[in-house]
């Protein structure tokens, strides 16, 4: 049975939520493997719109079990809010949601330190959800884990130790008010009572499920170019959205993964700071943003928009080992007379052979474009590949060839039904 990894192939917001919801019809378990409430995954079903930040988008299918893996950093406030939002929509998470005992907890000081470091001059444009500071503590071996909720005395000791250190930093370096340790301990003990029921030994659960022949979809958040190692460092998130992160973030070994599905947007967007070679800072970029409704699902920030970058997607396909692609938001390009596709970058007058992730080169490359005619026709009601205009098919052929990808799913609108498989 399939154990598939689904990854964002660009800078996030490719439409992962919509495609996870669509595909989860054919999987028994959906598991998130990294990131935290920095994600905003949108699913539109009928006239209802759901934005999920922590819980996998598979939760909207009542037969699907959802899992949050150890690679995810969990903000208990965001988690409990999301659970009550879903229950308010008559979507029960009881016995359908499991959380790894090894996932780390976002603490109030993580969010505070995130906002303090973003107020300085080396801004990343984070979502302010405490992601970076939480992963810092994880790798510094000071983190507080879901496991610790099960042992109140350990939880209290660890919170006290952490806050003593953070208060020194807040007071002496940032000249900020100190944190009230007792209040924080009290609130985390209260979370414990609400979260205990979801805690699970996730690696054992998932590996047993594989033994029993169950199918699993591993849902990535963010995108490959935001990966802390393979992305456009330092303008990245602090985890591994790339497919490798699915193993370390859940406990499923690499030889059990059957395939990798890349979600690719028909143009490019980015939120926050950092180089973006095909960015359009003119009326065309504004048109993409308006038609594509490119505003952050988590922070509401306007997304930066630009042409499709085949050089970037080719790199992403290589790093992730993408077997098949779901191409989203193709309908957004319908109102453009001409469309540009970036096929490579020029740097110091020479064509680069491989994708440069370093700031110095990426911020000064010149994208090389192939210009193709648009199709000037609404495609949002197309139900199959054959329904698409010839010019759209040509656009798809060029991007597949230049990016070295195989497009198997096409999305022409935000709704579940606005999707078809390419045979
Ligand atoms: P994610 O973070 O990758 O799940 O993506 P987001 O939910 O942040 O952003 C994608 C946005 O595009 C959402 O508002 C979706 O409802 C919307 N969307 C997804 N697929 C399509 C599509 O094919 N066409 C259009 N017009 N909108 C889409
Ligand atoms: P989904 O899952 C787009 C970006 C932020 C910032 C950088 C670091 O919805 O695709 P962080 O808060 O993670 O420390 O911010 O990463 N970022 C995203 N951009 N989509 C996301 O998630 C993102 N999550 C983080 O804008 O540039
Ligand atoms: Mg998003």
* Closest-CA residue to 270 (of 400, 363, 373, 337): 363
State if residue 36 touches ligand 2 by the CB under 6 angstroms criterion: no
Cβ atoms 263, 14 nearer than 8 A: yes
Q: Which fold has domain 264-421?
A: Adenylosuccinate Synthetase; Chain A, domain 3 (3.90.170)
Q: Which fold has domain 104-194?
A: Adenylosuccinate Synthetase, subunit A; domain 2 (1.10.300)
| Distances in whole angstroms, Cα of residue 37 to Cα of each of 25, 54, 249, 260, 339 | 24, 5, 16, 23, 34
Please tell me the distance between residue 154's alpha carbon and the centre of ligand 2 in angstroms: 32
Q: Which of 42, 48, 416 to mutate to test the pocket of ligand 1 (most atoms within 8 A of CB)?
A: 42
**pLDDT at residue number 117:** 94
Ligand nearest, relative to CA of residue 128: 2
Q: What is the DSSP letter of 404?
A: T
**pLDDT at residue number 32:** 98
Note the residue count of the chain.
Answer: 423
Cβ atoms 270, 234 nearer than 8 A: no
Cβ atoms 411, 18 nearer than 8 A: yes
**Of all protein residues, whose CA lies closest to atom 27 belonging to ligand 1?**
414
Lateral strand order in the sheet of 324-328: 199-200, 97-100, 65-68, 29-32, 216-219, 3-8, 259-265, 324-328, 407-411, 419-421
**pLDDT at residue number 44:** 96
State if residue 222 touches ligand 2 by the CB under 6 angstroms criterion: yes
Alpha helices for 57-107 (secondary structure H): 76-88
Please tell me the distance between residue 376's alpha carbon and the centre of ligand 2 in angstroms: 32
- Cα separation, 27 vs 79, in Å, equals 23
Tokens 């943003």 found at: 289
> b/e for 310-340, b at 16 or more Cβ within 10 A?
bbbbbbbbebbebbebbbbbbbbbbebeebb
Q: What is the DSSP letter of 171?
A: I
**pLDDT at residue number 123:** 94
Sign of CA dihedral 229, 231, 234, 240: negative
Supply the Cα-derived Rg of the chain in whole angstroms.
22
* Closest-CA residue to 311 (of 278, 271, 360): 278
**Of all protein residues, whose CA lies closest to atom 16 belonging to ligand 1?**
414
Residue spans of beta strands (DSSP E) within 142-236: 199-200, 216-219
- CATH 3.40.440.10, applies to 3-101+198-261: yes
- Reduced DSSP (H G I as helix, E B as strand, rest coil) percent helix, strand, coil of the chain, to 5: 40, 20, 40
Q: What is the DSSP letter of 121?
A: S
Please indicate whether residue 176 is annotated as part of the active site: no
**pLDDT at residue number 42:** 97
- Cα separation, 309 vs 87, in Å, equals 40
State if residue 37 touches ligand 2 by the CB under 6 angstroms criterion: no
| β-bridge pairing 350-351 and 338-347 | antiparallel
| Domain coordinates in residue numbering, the chain | 3-101+198-261, 104-194, 264-421
The pTM for the full model equals: 0.98
**pLDDT at residue number 423:** 78
Going by C-beta distance under 8 Å and a sequence separation of 6 or more, which residues neighbour residue 215?
A: 1, 2, 3, 4, 26, 27, 28, 29
- Cα separation, 68 vs 321, in Å, equals 23
Please indicate whether residue 41 is annotated as part of the active site: yes
Q: Do domains 3-101+198-261 and 264-421 have the same CATH topology?
A: no
Which conformational region is residue 379 in: left (phi greater than 0), alpha (psi within -120 to 50 degrees), or beta?
alpha
Please tell me the distance between residue 52's alpha carbon and the centre of ligand 2 in angstroms: 14
Joined tokens for residue 390: 């010839």
Please tell me the distance between residue 40's alpha carbon and the centre of ligand 2 in angstroms: 9
pLDDT in tens, the chain (423 residues): 999 999 999 999 999 999 999 999 999 999 999 999 999 999 999 999 999 999 999 999 999 999 999 999 999 999 999 999 999 999 999 999 999 999 999 999 999 999 999 998 889 999 999 999 999 999 999 999 999 999 999 999 999 999 999 999 999 999 999 999 999 999 999 999 999 999 999 999 999 999 999 999 999 999 999 999 999 999 999 999 999 999 999 999 999 999 999 999 999 999 999 999 999 999 999 999 999 999 998 889 999 999 999 999 999 999 999 999 999 999 999 999 999 999 999 999 999 999 999 999 999 999 999 999 999 999 999 999 999 999 999 999 999 999 999 999 999 999 999 999 997
């Amino acid at each position: 049975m399939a154990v598939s990894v689904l990854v964002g192939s660009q800078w996030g917001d490719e439409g992962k939520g919509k495609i996870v919801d669509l595909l989860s019809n054919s999987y028994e378990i959906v598991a998130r493997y990294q990131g935290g409430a920095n994600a905003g995954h949108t699913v539109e079903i009928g006239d209802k719109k759901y934005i999920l930040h922590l819980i996998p988008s598979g939760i909207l299918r009542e037969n699907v079990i959802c899992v949050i893996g150890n690679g995810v950093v969990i903000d208990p406030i965001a988690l409990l809010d999301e659970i009550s939002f879903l229950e308010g929509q008559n979507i029960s998470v009881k016995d359908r949601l499991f959380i790894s005992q090894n996932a780390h907890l976002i603490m109030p000081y993580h969010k505070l330190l995130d906002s303090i470091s973003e107020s300085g001059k080396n801004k990343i444009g984070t979502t302010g959800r405490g992601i970076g500071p939480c992963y810092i503590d994880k790798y510094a071996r000071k983190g507080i884990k879901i496991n610790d909720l099960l042992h109140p005395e350990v939880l209290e000791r660890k919170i006290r130790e952490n806050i003593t250190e953070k208060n020194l930093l807040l007071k002496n370096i940032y000249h900020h008010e100190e944190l009230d340790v007792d209040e924080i301990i009290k609130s985390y003990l209260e979370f414990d009572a609400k979260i205990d029921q979801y805690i699970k030994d996730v690696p054992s659960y998932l590996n047993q499920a594989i033994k029993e022949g169950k199918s699993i979809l591993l849902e990535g958040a963010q995108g490959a170019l935001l990966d802390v190692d393979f992305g456009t460092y330092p303008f990245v998130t602090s985890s591994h959205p790339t497919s490798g992160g699915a193993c370390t973030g859940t406990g499923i070994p690499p030889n059990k993964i059957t395939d990798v599905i890349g979600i690719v947007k028909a143009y490019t967007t980015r939120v926050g700071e950092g180089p973006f070679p095909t960015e359009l800072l003119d009326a065309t970029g504004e048109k993409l943003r308006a038609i594509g409704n490119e505003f952050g699902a988590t922070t509401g920030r306007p997304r930066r928009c630009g042409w499709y970058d085949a050089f970037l997607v080719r790199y992403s396909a290589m790093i992730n080992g993408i077997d098949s692609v779901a191409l989203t938001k193709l309908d957004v390009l319908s109102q453009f007379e001409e469309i540009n596709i970036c096929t490579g970058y020029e740097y110091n007058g020479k064509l680069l052979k491989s994708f440069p992730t370093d700031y110095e080169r990426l911020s000064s490359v010149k994208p090389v474009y192939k210009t193709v005619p648009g199709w000037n026709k609404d495609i949002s009601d197309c139900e199959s590949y054959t329904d698409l205009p010839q010019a759209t098919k040509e656009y798809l052929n060029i991007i597949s060839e230049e990016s070295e990808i195989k497009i198997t799913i096409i999305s022409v609108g935000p709704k579940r039904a606005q999707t078809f498989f390419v045979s």
